[in-house]
Structure 1
Amino acid sequence: MNFADLQVFKSVVEEGGVIRAASKLHRVPSAVTTRIKQLEASMGVKLFHRDKQRLHLSPAGELLLDYADRLIRLSDEARDVVSGTKPRGVLRLGALESTTASRLPPILAGFHARYKDVRLELITGTNDALLKQLAERQLDAAFIAESPPTKAFEHLPVFAERLTLISSLDHPPIRRASDVEGASLIAFPEGCAYRRVLQRWLGRDSLVTFRVLELSSYHAIIACVTAGAGIALMPESVLDVIPQAKVQRHAIPKAQAQITTPLVWRRGEISPSVLALRTLLASMPQQKRAA
């Protein structure tokens, strides 16, 4: 398999045909067609179904496209890192809803102002969903809620967070798990690290007695808690940026309350844009990031 053939293959797919790909690559159509046939011969499969003047990706072509995209992107990253090229292109960044709301706005604004050739794409999700997307190369880096569980990732501790339990204003004091027996839990869907912290505090066995209301927005969670629908666990930093929240805060043990938000990326695959973000974070005042 020739790397140049992969680039031609990807161009044909992106441009929707040989003629447009040839124009983009500054080649004659016959040369592009020859490259595609050579690639098909080397792999022993048909990459396209030909219907008169139109090409449609075959199942094998669909599989190859994903690998071609990864290989070409890694090649570009390697060239940029080795040559010291200024960050450019797309930075696909993942983040928790809480981090996005309370921590990222000034950081993203600073990065955007400093690196004008980088287009930021921000995707939010739960801790586990973001790690999965990172492993599958759908993201370049992500802010998650806990240190990555495997050595497949590298990370930089960034934000120190304190989790707090919230209830409606008329709820009795909450000092132990038994004080919320019978209450509904309001949390993000499975895969949320904060939800796991709450489960550990309540006790895994007792969780089956609780009803869980799953929501995907902190504003919605706070609104439901305010209305008395149940209790929730969230970072104090989120509550601090929603001053109109009419909820009561209840402290949980320090061991569960204190967590650190890291920036995570795939081991050995740090791109110029991720390196620039990491450097920016490392330069932040100490009181604004984790120790």
Structure 2
Amino acid sequence: MDSNLLKVFVEVANEKSISKAAINLQFAQSNVTSRIKQLEKSIGSSLFHRVPKGVILSQEGERLYPYALEIIKKIELANYEMKNINQQKHLLIGSTESNASTRIIPFLLELNKDFPNMTLELITNTTKEITKKILDYKLDIAFISGLPKNDELMILNKIEETIVLVEPKDIKAQNIYLSFKNGCAYNEFGQTYLKEITNYEHKNLEFGNYETILGCIKAGMGKSILPLSIIKKLNYEKDLEITKLSKKIVNLPTCMVCRKDNLPRIKNYLENFKF
């Protein structure tokens, strides 16, 4: 069974769309379709059902998927091991925007100084998306908000965060919760917490950066729950009403994690890194 065909199959299954898979793989859509047909012919079964919005796995496709995923992962790991047989030559790093805003630059500078021959690549997104990428072997390490919930991940390093309720200083805040985009751990906790203490749901507005969130809070648009490190980094401490939340209420440290079956070669260095 051709592993290249399996890679196309997994991408289509993940995206539930031949066109989206083609974009991700940088193939022509017809190429993806022909490869799926080639795989189906080789195993003698149809792997997908066509639906109005794309495709879904057939019963046979569901059975093949975990085996295909395992084969692809093992091939990728083998290639990675051979490329990094003696040292960590490349490090793929994922980070939440909050961590990227506060401490990722000193971390990257230190890595580059201590490992001058190692190339670095950084991807930022929400905790939800970054976690998905590291579970899919698309990252070597990841900074996420909160303790990892998946048993396949292990913590390499942990940074305690002071979580605060942020409101306008001299203006009554509207009943609006301002947050980073969907998938942010602070977003998920904050909406639930505010509903519990106020007994009503806040309208939720999502933004793409923390500078905008804090600026809107300062103007009285609403409130948010964020790590204090972001507010200090963006110099908003004097402009906002800040209430620290007890760790009994919320404990969302920033954790550097990796897959248990894909440990970085510089694991010891990362575990002892001082943030």
- Tell me the TM-score normalized by structure 1: 0.65
- Is residue 268 of structure 2 the alignment partner of residue 275 of structure 1? no
Distance 2:190 2:113 in 1: 38
In structure 2, relative to structure 1, the CA distance for the partners of 1:211 and 1:2 (3 Å cut) is closer
Contact kept, 8 Å, 2:96 with 2:144, in 1: the verdict is yes
Q: Which residue of the partner structure matches residue 52 of structure 2?
A: none
Distance 2:170 2:196 in 1: 27
Aligned counterpart in structure 2 of residue 262 of structure 1, from 252, 255, 274: 255
How big is the shift at 1:97? 0.8
Q: Which residue of the partner structure matches residue 162 of structure 2?
A: 162
- Is residue 189 of structure 2 the alignment partner of residue 189 of structure 1? no
Distance 1:254 1:213 in 2: 26
| CA distances 1:71-121 after superposition (whole Å, capped 9, x unpaired) | 44311334467x5x11113x2211111111112211111112222333222
Contact kept, 8 Å, 1:111 with 1:280, in 2: the verdict is no
Distance 1:127 1:142 in 2: 9
Q: Which residue of the partner structure matches residue 73 of structure 1?
A: 76
Aligned-residue sequence identity (percent) comes to 23
**Root-mean-square deviation (CA), in Å?**
3.7
Q: Which amino acid aligns with 2:80?
A: E
3-state SS of paired residue (1:150):
coil
Gaps of 5+ in 1: 7-13, 17-38, 46-62, 173-179
| CA distances 1:240-275 after superposition (whole Å, capped 9, x unpaired) | 2112562221222332344321112222112xxx33
How big is the shift at 1:43? 4.8
Q: Which residue of the partner structure matches residue 206 of structure 2?
A: 214
How big is the shift at 1:44? 6.0
- Is residue 225 of structure 2 the alignment partner of residue 233 of structure 1? yes
Q: Which residue of the partner structure matches residue 86 of structure 1?
A: 87
Contact kept, 8 Å, 2:165 with 2:244, in 1: the verdict is yes
3-state SS of paired residue (1:214):
strand
Distance 2:233 2:93 in 1: 22
Contact kept, 8 Å, 2:162 with 2:245, in 1: the verdict is no
Distance 2:144 2:187 in 1: 13
Distance 2:124 2:220 in 1: 27
Gaps of 5+ in 2: 7-24, 28-37, 45-64
The aligned runs of 1:61-210 (5 Å cut-off) are 70-79=73-82, 83=85, 85-89=86-90, 91-171=91-171, 183-203=175-195, 209-210=201-202
